[in-house]
Structure 1
């Protein structure tokens, strides 16, 4: 099995985004049409918890668009364009992976303990499309190992594109502790967008 270390040119994107918080997070209005990517956590302590949602929106000056992230604590952040392109580019590559045949299209990492959390990644079609989101899940994600419990076709390790993508988007949970105070006004708006979609 591979001993490759996890890395990405887009690592620490969340720390960069924290430098540009939305000036008025409670005025941010997420919509289904602007949702680009979502990450939900399914774990014993938290069922269907929001880890990350990426939305596109017009810039305040009306010149082009930008990507806004809502992280696990409900912080509303403007994501640098290069990081957005990297994350969404990896998500599009992940669409080409084979289906696992497992519930929720889950890739299961071999870990020493059972009941590992499942991270559910939803990749949204282009804005305005009525196509359903594409789901791919990773159970027991680790930056130390990619070995799968069961091969998918002849694939015995989590594909590198999915390994990199999962490692990146999970940065949105950095600093989040279960039970910690979160911005429930913002997270409530995001849940409304997710309702009936996932």
Structure 2
């Protein structure tokens, strides 16, 4: 199994972000401002939420905002927003895997590893969620992500790729920082964000 080490200019982007100075109850972005959602599907966490990024908090549309696994709200730095946007474009340009939830599977000795689900809106989202989420989102999954393993499972080839493509490797590693640390969950913020996502779980 080929090993490598994940690196990215986005490393630590949530730590660099500014804290949200208003109460969580005042964070009311619209669905149309959603730019990214990251979920986790695993045997012990089938509807796990990892991260969402918005281009507005419902009031200020000059900054981008991230909500992490715990419901903590952060105001992203402009250079990190640009870096994320470049990776969104890179992921959108990848071929389909032809598999379940468009999932890229890393070569791992243990099966049934978590799937990190990356959802990018295909267009500006309307106020009401569609009946089927795949009408609204381009989904790309990564199963068995590891910061030290990039080699794909040879039993699941994707158009000649033998490693996780660079933009997907970098984006997945960055967004999983949304699960770092320990904190009490802000269920009110998380429930609001889940409501915006619609039928993705």
Aligned-residue CA RMSD in angstroms? 2.1
Measured after TM superposition, the shift of residue 20 of structure 1 is 2.2
4+ runs deviating over 2 angstroms: 1-5, 19-23, 125-131
Distance in 1 of aligned mates of 2:57 and 2:185: 26
Equivalent position of 1:44 in the other structure: 43
Q: Give the 3 Å change call, closer, same or farther, for CA 6–14 of structure 1 in structure 2.
A: same
| Residue ranges of structure 2 left out of the alignment (5+ in a row) | none
Equivalent position of 1:185 in the other structure: 188
Q: 1:12-161 to 2 correspondence within 5 Å?
A: 12-17=12-17, 19-57=18-56, 65-127=62-124, 132-149=136-153, 150-161=156-167
How many residue pairs match? The answer is 192
Distance in 2 of aligned mates of 1:151 and 1:6: 22
TM-score, with length taken from structure 2 = 0.87
Higher strand share: 1
Distance in 2 of aligned mates of 1:133 and 1:66: 22
Within the candidate set 159, 175, 178, 2:181 is matched to: 175
Equivalent position of 2:168 in the other structure: 162
TM-score, with length taken from structure 1 = 0.88
DSSP 3-state at the match of 2:85? helix
